[in-house]
């Protein structure tokens, strides 16, 4: 946020007044001192039917149209061609060369040529308007996720969009309202729920090995300075860099929070109640820019808003707590942390996968004991697809399992493992963490995108 806007928010909060901003919902301070979202426009579509557990007509073949063939799109097309019951129907990108390159890949696999859409910023709309596409798969920059998804759903398509699904609470509600009114699936991709250890710990929790999970920790810690400044891989105006110059808080909570939210039954028996967030100042971007481009370079003179490390704490309605961290600036190893602390034990993924269990939970399991537990609780999806997933790849295979499961559900008319409420809830943490961070870590209410349905929605079982 610009400095003037930040000061305006602080002034309004100090007086307890409700305010309205173009990029924020209205909010006010409640009696407990928390920032509470109050904008009535988010309640305007209560008449819509809830899409919890939405099951749509089975599709014998899933005809997919892809938007965005830059960094993530080609790999998604490649993975989908290795899944039964998929037709690569259409390819779309602003840059013609990308479409042509992926088209050659499609033909090399012996598949029918896909329809091509390119050269215009509205080409993707023409693709969505066709009646021979079932699923729109969006791998575009963040600010296009919601426009892609909403337009596709309004034209009768299911949608799968890269993370985050949206970057503002208002856009999260737009996804929810559109999915409810159109009765179409809206799933957020690349959410890490299908990584092998995360699947195993879901299985452990469901079978009671760890007891009741009362606290979890997760993160997206990934040094991306090189990518933010890369003019070739940054694509259209280096959009990742722009977010670092305009926003703070947690810009990417979804990788870590996805598996944790599923394991802790968020939107399915529990919900996020409120959060508080704090960021360190910005140091790393300026240091990197100076070392890479020189002391007097435009990159050094640029102002960077995103704090190096953000820590967000979430309290759930049932009294559980979650810590979420974000750091794409510091020189340190990649980590999503993934710690689950339960009443019978603890599981941890980074920096090393470990498990400790009662009655000797003060010590980690020895190697042979750990391997035995992991073998016993290997998730059915990993058993079925693990070998092929590792061969195909995509974040070590989890992207393949995710795509396979999406197609399986669409072909069999099953509800998806992640629905639009998950996409909205997990993504809403972006703006909410920024509001808290810029207001001295004041607590912020998390909207209930299910409008109360979380109370009666059963938790996701162990997918078999």
> Once rounded to an integer, what is the mean pLDDT over residues 199-218?
98
**The predicted structure's pLDDT at residue 240:** 82
231 pLDDT above the threshold of 90: no
Angle between helices 398-412 and 73-80 (to 10 degrees): 60
- pLDDT tens-place string over residues 387-396: 999 999 889 9
Percent over 70 (pLDDT), the chain: 90
11 pLDDT above the threshold of 60: no
For residue 237, CA distances in Å to 141, 142, 291 come to: 11, 13, 22
**The predicted structure's pLDDT at residue 14:** 39
φ/ψ region of 397 (left if φ > 0, alpha if ψ in -120 to 50, else beta) reads: left
- CB count within 10 Å of CB 445 equals 18
Residues forming a β-bridge with 213: 342
Q: Smallest Cα–Cα separation from 261: which of 305, 201, 209?
A: 201
Please, which residues have CB within 8 angstroms of residue 57's CB and are 6 or more apart in sequence? Answer: 413
Q: What's the whole-number average pLDDT of the chain?
A: 91
Q: How confident is the model at residue 230 (pLDDT cuts 50, 70, 90)?
A: confident
Q: H/E element holding 29?
A: strand 24-29
d(CA 431, CA 248): 9
Is residue 135 within 8 A of residue 61, CB to CB? The reply is no
d(CA 462, CA 351): 26
10 pLDDT above the threshold of 80: no
Phi, psi of 88 (to 5 degrees): -80, 95
Percent over 90 (pLDDT), the chain: 83
Is residue 229 within 8 A of residue 223, CB to CB? The reply is no
d(CA 324, CA 215): 11
Q: How confident is the model at residue 50 (pLDDT cuts 50, 70, 90)?
A: very high
**The predicted structure's pLDDT at residue 239:** 77
- pLDDT tens-place string over residues 439-449: 999 999 999 99
**The predicted structure's pLDDT at residue 26:** 52
d(CA 143, CA 70): 15
Peptide linkage before 164 cis (omega within 30 of 0): yes
Q: Tell me which of 36-45, 52-61, 176-185 is least confident.
A: 36-45
- pLDDT tens-place string over residues 248-288: 999 999 999 999 999 999 999 999 999 999 999 999 999 99
> Once rounded to an integer, what is the mean pLDDT over residues 306-312?
98
Any idea which residue has 């008449």 for tokens?
A: 47
At residue 60's C-alpha, the angle toward residues 410 and 414, to 5°, is 25
> Once rounded to an integer, what is the mean pLDDT over residues 48-74?
94
Return the SS3 of 23. Answer: coil
SS3 content of the chain, % helix, strand, coil (to 5): 40, 20, 40
Tokens coding 234: 């940054």
Q: How confident is the model at residue 30 (pLDDT cuts 50, 70, 90)?
A: confident
Return the SS3 of 63. Answer: strand
Alpha carbon 262 to chain centroid, angstroms: 13
- pLDDT tens-place string over residues 130-180: 999 999 999 999 999 999 999 999 999 999 999 999 999 999 999 999 999
d(CA 137, CA 126): 14
Return the SS3 of 76. Answer: helix
Phi, psi of 312 (to 5 degrees): -115, 130
> Once rounded to an integer, what is the mean pLDDT over residues 90-116?
97
The model carries a pTM of 0.91
**The predicted structure's pLDDT at residue 174:** 98
Largest CA distance in the chain: 66
127 pLDDT above the threshold of 60: yes
Angle between helices 196-206 and 380-392 (to 10 degrees): 180
Q: Smallest Cα–Cα separation from 146: which of 159, 157, 135?
A: 159
d(CA 63, CA 132): 7
Is residue 135 within 8 A of residue 64, CB to CB? The reply is yes
**The predicted structure's pLDDT at residue 47:** 55
Tokens coding 162: 């890269």
> Once rounded to an integer, what is the mean pLDDT over residues 294-316?
95
- CB count within 10 Å of CB 244 equals 25
62 pLDDT above the threshold of 60: yes
> Once rounded to an integer, what is the mean pLDDT over residues 403-409?
97
Residues forming a β-bridge with 65: 90, 136
Any idea which residue has 């808290």 for tokens?
A: 436
> Once rounded to an integer, what is the mean pLDDT over residues 350-377?
97
**The predicted structure's pLDDT at residue 235:** 46
Which is higher by pLDDT, 239 or 301? 301
Is residue 426 within 8 A of residue 175, CB to CB? The reply is no
**The predicted structure's pLDDT at residue 453:** 97
3 pLDDT above the threshold of 80: no
Q: How confident is the model at residue 46 (pLDDT cuts 50, 70, 90)?
A: low
d(CA 69, CA 74): 5
d(CA 346, CA 355): 6
**The predicted structure's pLDDT at residue 2:** 42
**The predicted structure's pLDDT at residue 27:** 62
The single-letter DSSP state of residue 66 is: E
Is residue 443 within 8 A of residue 13, CB to CB? The reply is no
> Once rounded to an integer, what is the mean pLDDT over residues 96-105?
98
**The predicted structure's pLDDT at residue 463:** 80
224 pLDDT above the threshold of 50: yes
User: CB burial class (10 A; 0-12, 13-18, 19+) of residue 433?
Assistant: buried
Any idea which residue has 């400044």 for tokens?
A: 229
Return the SS3 of 202. Answer: helix
């Amino acid at each position: 946020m610009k400095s003037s806007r930040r000061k305006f928010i602080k002034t309004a909060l100090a007086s307890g007044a409700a305010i309205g901003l173009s990029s924020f919902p209205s909010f006010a301070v409640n009696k407990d001192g928390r920032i509470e979202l109050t904008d009535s426009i988010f309640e305007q579509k209560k008449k819509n039917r809830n899409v919890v557990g939405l099951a749509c007509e089975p599709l014998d073949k899933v005809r997919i149209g892809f938007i965005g063939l830059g960094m993530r799109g080609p790999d998604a097309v490649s993975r989908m061609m290795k899944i039964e019951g998929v037709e690569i129907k259409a390819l779309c990108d602003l840059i013609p060369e990308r479409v042509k390159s992926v088209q050659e890949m499609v033909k090399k696999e012996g598949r029918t040529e896909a329809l091509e859409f390119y050269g215009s910023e509205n080409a993707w709309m023409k693709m969505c308007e066709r009646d021979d596409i079932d699923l729109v798969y969006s791998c575009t920059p963040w600010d296009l996720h919601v426009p892609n998804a909403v337009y596709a759903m309004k034209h009768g398509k299911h949608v799968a969009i890269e993370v985050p699904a949206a970057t503002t609470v208002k856009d999260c509600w737009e996804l929810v309202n559109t999915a409810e009114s159109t009765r179409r699936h809206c799933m957020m991709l690349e959410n890490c729920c299908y990584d092998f250890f995360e699947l195993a710990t879901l299985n452990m929790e469901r079978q009671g090995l760890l007891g009741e999970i009362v606290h979890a920790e997760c993160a997206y810690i990934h040094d991306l300075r090189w990518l933010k400044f890369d003019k070739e891989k940054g694509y259209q105006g280096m959009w990742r860099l722009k977010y670092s110059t305009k926003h703070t808080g947690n810009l990417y909570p979804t990788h870590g929070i996805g598996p944790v939210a599923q394991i802790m039954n968020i939107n399915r028996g529990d919900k996020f109640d409120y959060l508080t967030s704090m960021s360190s100042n910005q140091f790393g971007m300026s240091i990197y820019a100076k070392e890479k481009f020189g002391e007097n370079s435009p990159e050094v003179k640029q102002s960077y808003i995103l704090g190096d490390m953000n820590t967000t704490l979430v309290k759930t309605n049932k009294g559980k707590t979650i810590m979420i961290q974000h750091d794409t600036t510091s020189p340190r190893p990649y980590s999503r942390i993934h710690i689950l602390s339960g009443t019978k034990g603890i599981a941890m993924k980074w920096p090393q996968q470990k498990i400790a269990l009662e009655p000797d939970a003060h010590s980690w399991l020895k190697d042979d004991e750990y391997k035995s537990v992991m073998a016993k609780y290997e998730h059915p999806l990993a058993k079925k697809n693990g070998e092929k997933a590792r061969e195909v790849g995509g974040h070590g295979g989890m992207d393949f399992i995710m795509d396979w499961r999406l197609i399986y559900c669409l072909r069999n008319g099953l509800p998806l493992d992640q629905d639009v409420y998950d996409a909205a809830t997990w993504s809403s943490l972006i703006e909410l963490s920024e509001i808290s961070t810029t207001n001295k870590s004041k607590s912020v209410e998390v909207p209930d995108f299910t409008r109360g349905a979380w109370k009666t929605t059963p938790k996701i079982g162990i997918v078999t």
